[in-house]
Amino acid sequence: MDIGNRKGEMRLRAQHAMTKRILVVEDNPDNRILITDVLSSLDYEVLVAEDGEMGLTMARAEIPDLILMDLSLPKVDGWTATKEIKANDSLAHIPIIALTAHAMVGDREKALKAGCDDYISKPIDLRELASKLMHFLG
């Protein structure tokens, strides 16, 4: 392999290593598709979990760079999943943005109390989502 090709390969690897991985924990299929499409178009790698239990399993196994956490979820709700992640020393550093279904102040406060770093109200404003991702992931 000549040096030119090798440099190109190294550049590709470096770019891949910098790709941020976001775990989306969301039980609503339409929201999952919408969020996955948006994150992919922003060049994030997307991991998907359909309930809180799967979200916890994937968080532990994959250690994503950020988690988008729906709150109302089957099996384990988003508040409980967030508390468990934030109580785990190897996961506590992961920023968690709650997706709050209702514009309910109580839900947001509960999300922040559970350890969420921020929240976004549904219906999701895609510009707000992109700017919060930039804030946490740089």
Q: Contact positions toward Mn ion, by CB under 5 A?
A: 27, 70, 72
Separation between Cα atoms, residue 9 and residue 127, nearest integer Å:
33
* Residue 70 or 107 having the CB closest to Mn ion: 70
Q: Which is nearer to Mn ion, 65 or 70 (CB)?
A: 70
Instruction: Compute the distance between CA of residue 31 and CA of residue 68 in angstroms, rounded to an integer.
Output: 11
Q: What are 130's two structure tokens?
A: 């992109």
- What's the min distance (Å) between Cβ of 132 and Mn ion? 19
Query: Which stretches of the chain are DSSP H helices?
Result: 3-18, 29-41, 52-62, 78-86, 105-114, 126-137
Output 102 or 135, the one with its CB closest to Mn ion.
Answer: 102
Please report how close the Cβ of residue 28 comes to Mn ion at its closest, in angstroms.
Answer: 5
Residue number with the shortest CB distance to Mn ion? 72
Least distance to Mn ion, CB of residue 108, Å: 15
